[in-house]
Amino acid sequence: AQSVSQHNHHVILSEAASLELGCNYSYGGTVNLFWYVQYPGQHLQLLLKYFSGDPLVKGIKGFEAEFIKSKFSFNLRKPSVQWSDTAEYFCAVNHPNSGGYQKVTFGTGTKLQVIP
Amino acid sequence: NAGVTQTPKFRVLKTGQSMTLLCAQDMNHEYMYWYRQDPGMGLRLIHYSVGEGTTAKGEVPDGYNVSRLKKQNFLLGLESAAPSQTSVYFCASSYRDTAQNTGELFFGEGSRLTVL
């Protein structure tokens, strides 16, 4: 079965620090990869996504992620975090399934707390 | 530009009571999903639907029923609520999986349910 691992459950950073959140998945075939963000009290929103092409993907608010196929990883990065980045971040993997539903598997999430 | 709308946003139930959560989307998406979010467990799929009149079980379907009588609506029912069903429930929708549409989910704002 497909699984997604997020190794950091809770990360605390000071403003301007660099961020890297790890994400590894288990499925060996073609996958689509996503990072979603959930700000306190809000719904999940798409941060960035990878389907094909350049493995370095840029998203909103200065976030980026790199797909490394050989490592089954899709780590999220940001050079300098802000207090407003305090949120929970979810990595997700979709196995393209023509004619079927979107089989999206989510990681358990990483809570990021940015201290002013 | 409503997107995905869930009602109610908050509800407190007593054990054994029944209730229905309503999800409505105005994006003409074929697929709809109900997830539950619990601390440290990420999002888990309860039920999903690939089109009007069709539903299927996800990872954690026990204790829940769903219906999709109209394309834009997806209802989640609890026939006899249990304390283990205390959670935040998220509805999501997406396009059919094609070369152009690759699995991005659009989420509602969530419904917080407490079962006493």
Per-residue model confidence as pLDDT tens digits over B47-95: 999 899 999 998 899 999 999 999 999 999 999 999 999 999 999 998 8
Peptide bond just before A116 cis, omega within 30 deg: no
Residue of B nearest to A107 (CA): B42
Cβ pair B90:A44 closer than 8 A: yes
A95 contacts A29 by C-beta, under 8 angstroms: yes
- Report whether B102 contacts B72 (CB < 8 A): no
Residues of A in contact with B45 (CB under 8 A): 104
Query: Are A77 and A66 within 8 A, CB to CB?
Result: yes
Name the closest residue on chain A to residue B38, using Cα atoms: A108
User: Strand runs (DSSP E) across chain B, as ranges?
Assistant: 4-7, 10-13, 19-25, 31-38, 42-51, 54-57, 64-67, 73-78, 87-94, 106-107, 111-115
Provide the CB-side half-sphere exposure for B51 (13 A, CA): 4
- Identify any residues that bridge with B37 across adjacent strands, giving them in sequence order: B43, B88
C-alpha to C-alpha distance for A21 and A13, rounded to whole angstroms? 12
| Residue bearing the bigger pLDDT, B38 or A102 | B38
Q: Are B17 and B81 in contact (CB under 8 A)?
A: yes
Q: For residue A16, what is the DSSP state?
A: T
CA max distance for chain B: 46
Query: Which residues in chain B are closer than 8 Å to A9, comparing Cβ atoms?
Result: 40
Of A54, A59, A71, A53, residue with least CA distance to A34: A59
Cα distances (Å, whole numbers) of residue A111 to A12, A74, A107, B92: 8, 17, 12, 21
Is the CB of A70 inside 8 Å of chain B's CB atoms? Answer: no
**A74 pLDDT band (50/70/90 cuts)?**
very high
Report the C-alpha gap between A100 and A98 in whole angstroms. 5
Q: Taking Cα atoms as reference points, which of B2, B58, B63, B62 lies closest to residue B27?
A: B2
CB-CB under 8 Å, A34 with B109:
no
Chain A CB contacts of B108 under 8 Å are: 43
* pLDDT score of A52: 85
Instruction: Look at residues A66, A34, A113 and name the one whose alpha carbon lies nearest to residue B43.
Output: A34
A 5-34 → B contacts, CB under 8 A: 9, 32, 34
Please indicate whether, in this complex, the C-beta atoms of B48 and A101 are within 8 angstroms of each other.
yes
> Model confidence over A18-69: pLDDT tens digits?
999 999 998 777 788 999 999 998 889 999 999 888 999 999 999 999 999 9
More confident residue, A29 or B21: B21
B111-115 vs B87-94, strand pairing mode:
antiparallel
Nearest to B97 among A97, A106, A108 (CB): A97
| Residue contacts between A and B (CB atoms, under 8 Å) | 61
Nearest chain B residue to A51 by CA distance is B102
- Reply yes or no on whether the pLDDT at A98 is more than 60: no
Query: Is B42 in contact with A42 (Cβ distance < 8 A)?
Result: no
